[in-house]
Structure 1
Amino acid sequence: MQVSPYLFFRGDCRAAFEFYEKLLGAKIEAILPHAGTPAGEHVPEDWQDKIMHACMTIGDTLLMASDCPPEQFAKPQGFKVSLQIDEPSEAERVFAGLSEGGKIEMPLQETFWALRFGMVTDRFGTPWMINCGKSE
C-alpha cells in the first residue's frame, strides 16, 4: 500500500508541477489537459487547457494533482506536504525556492529533532514542511 497526496490547484497546476519538477529534481510522469479527452466535453472552452490529472515522482513517492474549477476550489488546510531531505544545504535550497512568492510560516532553522526544519506555503498555495533530521 502507498499513500500519495493529491493536490488541487486554482488553474495553475501545470506551472506548479513544472516548478516542482525543476526545484525538487522530480519527474512529471503525466500531465493531461481536458482538451482531447472525454472530459473536455464537460468543461467550458476556457478550461480546455486546464489540467484534468497530473502525476510526478519525487524520489520514490508519487504526487498527483489537477486544476479545480473555481466554484469548487477550497484553500488547502489541515495538512502539509512533508519533504525529508538528507543534507542541510539541500534543505536550505528547497526551502528558499518554495518561499519565493510564498508565505513562510516557520523559518528554516535547527530544532531539537532536526538540523533544519521549516514550514512554508508556496506561491501556488501548497503548504510544505521541510525536515532535515539529525543522525541518531
Structure 2
Amino acid sequence: MATPNVYLTFDGECEKAFEFYRSVFGGTFKDLNRFGEMPPSDDMPPMPDEVKDKIMHVSLPMDNGTVLMGSDTMPGHGGPLLKGNNFSISLHPSSRKETEQLFSALSKGGQVTMPLEDTFWGAYFGMCVDPYGIQWMMNYDEPANE
C-alpha cells in the first residue's frame, strides 16, 4: 500500500522554510529542483524570470521513513494559496495500476487538478481534491532497470 507523506506549498518561501525544517529535523535534501530547470513545453507559457529560482520540488527524508516535501506556487496554476490549504497528502503507490485505482477513488466526487500523466522527472503523476476538500498527489516511479 502507498505510504503517505506531507507535501507543503509556499508562496516564495519554500527554500527558507525547508532550510528551517532541516535545521530542526536534521538530514539532507534528497531533491531540490527549481522551476527554471523545467524543460520547455508547448502547453506551458514562457517561464517568468521571477519564478525561475523558486522551488519546484524539495524533499527531506525523515528518520521515521516518511518524507517531508514541498514547493512554491507557480502563478497561473492552481487556486490562490491560503494558509490552511497549503498542504497535500502525497502517495507513492507501488504500481501504475494501484496509482490509477487510488487516484480514481480519491477524485470521485471531487476534482482532478492535474490528470495522471508521465512526467519529465520520470514519474507517473497526478493531483486531485477529494470530496471533502483534501488535496492528494500521486507519484509512481517506475522501477529502475538494472
Give the alignment's TM-score, normalised by structure 2.
Answer: 0.47
Give the alignment's TM-score, normalised by structure 1.
Answer: 0.50
